[in-house]
Amino acid sequence: MSWIEHLREDQDASGILERVYAGCRSRAGEVAEIIQVMSPRPDLLEPFLELYIRVMRGPSELSRAEREWVAVLTSDFNDCHY
The answer to whether 64 and 55 are in contact (CB under 8 A) is: no
For residue 77, the Cα-to-chain-centroid distance in whole angstroms is 18
**39: exposed, middle or buried (Cβ count in 10 Å: 0-12, 13-18, 19+):** buried
**29: exposed, middle or buried (Cβ count in 10 Å: 0-12, 13-18, 19+):** exposed
Per-domain residue ranges of the chain: 9-77
- Whether the model clears a pTM of 0.85, i.e. scores above it, the answer is no
pLDDT per residue as tens digits for the range 13-57: 999 999 999 999 998 899 988 889 999 999 999 999 899 899 999
